[in-house]
Structures are given as structure tokens and as C-alpha cells.
Amino acid sequence: MNVTPTLHFSGQCEEAIGLYQRAFELRTSFILHYSDADPSDWNVSLTIEQQAYVYHSEGYIGGQRFMLADEIGLDAPKSTSLFLTVTFETADEVKQAYEVLTDGGSIIHPLRSTTYSSCTASVVDKFGFRWGLMTEQTER
């Protein structure tokens, strides 16, 4: 059994993939657009714009598999109670991801050092997803 984080967007999935490539070195392994999928998979007519949306994509942050897609016809409310934590090797990597994600996003907990981490922060990116950023040690 595997748990795969899946992030849904409203037409900005490709932009989000670019953001996560810069923040986390997301490696995409598969991108399928609505225009390339079987239309019998959904029961609505798509606009030309929606046909260009991402129907399904997969990628990896480190060794963790992620799925990302654009949702058609569903406006899911955003919540910051569930968030994804990415653990980096160094404080410099945390700071770089922090800079990328806070551009257009918001800060919940600014960069700081704690008892358990030399560098940690919590942010909400421009798409409404909350991320925990941290090192797992106090030396670097």
C-alpha cells in the first residue's frame, strides 16, 4: 500500500509544476492533458482552454511520488490544516525553497532555527497549499 499526495488546481497545474521544480526540484515523469485523454472519462463539455489543462501528471520530490492535476467543475476549498513537509539536507536549500514559495504566497512561520531543526519554516504557496520546510538536524 502506498500513500501518494495529490494536488489539484483550477487551470494552473503546469504553472504549479514549474514552481515546484524550482522549489523542490520536482521531476515530472508523466503529463497527460485533457486533449490527449479519452473524453468518456468525464461527462462535461470542455472549453478550448480546459482541453489544455493537465488531466493527470506524476512526479517525484526526492523519492516521494506526487500526482498533480487540474480539476474541472470542482472548486475545492483550501485548507491549511493538512500540509506537506519537505526535509532538506541544508539550511541553504530550505531558504531557496522558502524564497520560491513565498513569492505570491504567504508566511505562516518565518525561517527560524529550533531545537529540532537548524532551519524551518511554514508557508502557503500561491495556489493555497501549505508546505513545511526544514532540515532534520541542527548543524547545517
Q: Is residue 92 part of a domain?
A: yes
Q: Which tops the pLDDT comparison, 79 or 114?
A: 114
Residue 90 and residue 61 share a domain: no
Q: Is residue 116 part of a domain?
A: yes
* 9-23, 100-114, 126-140, range with the lowest pLDDT: 126-140
Residue 89 and residue 54 share a domain: no
Structural domain harbouring 115: 84-135
Total domains in the fold of the chain: 2
Q: How confident is the model at residue 138 (pLDDT cuts 50, 70, 90)?
A: low
Q: Is residue 107 part of a domain?
A: yes
Give which of 93, 95, 89, 83 is closest to 121, Cα–Cα.
95
Inter-residue contact 119 to 134 (CB < 8 Å) = yes
CA distance 103 to 20: 12
pLDDT, tens only, 73-106: 777 677 777 899 999 999 999 999 999 999 999 9
Inter-residue contact 8 to 76 (CB < 8 Å) = yes
DSSP secondary-structure letter at 4?
A: -
Helix axes 91-102, 13-24, angle to 10 degrees: 160
Residue 91 and residue 130 share a domain: yes
Inter-residue contact 53 to 70 (CB < 8 Å) = yes
Whole-number pLDDT of residue 102: 98
pLDDT, tens only, 24-79: 999 999 999 999 999 999 888 999 999 999 999 999 999 999 999 999 877 767 77
Query: Of 47, 70, 93, at which residue does a domain stop?
Result: 70
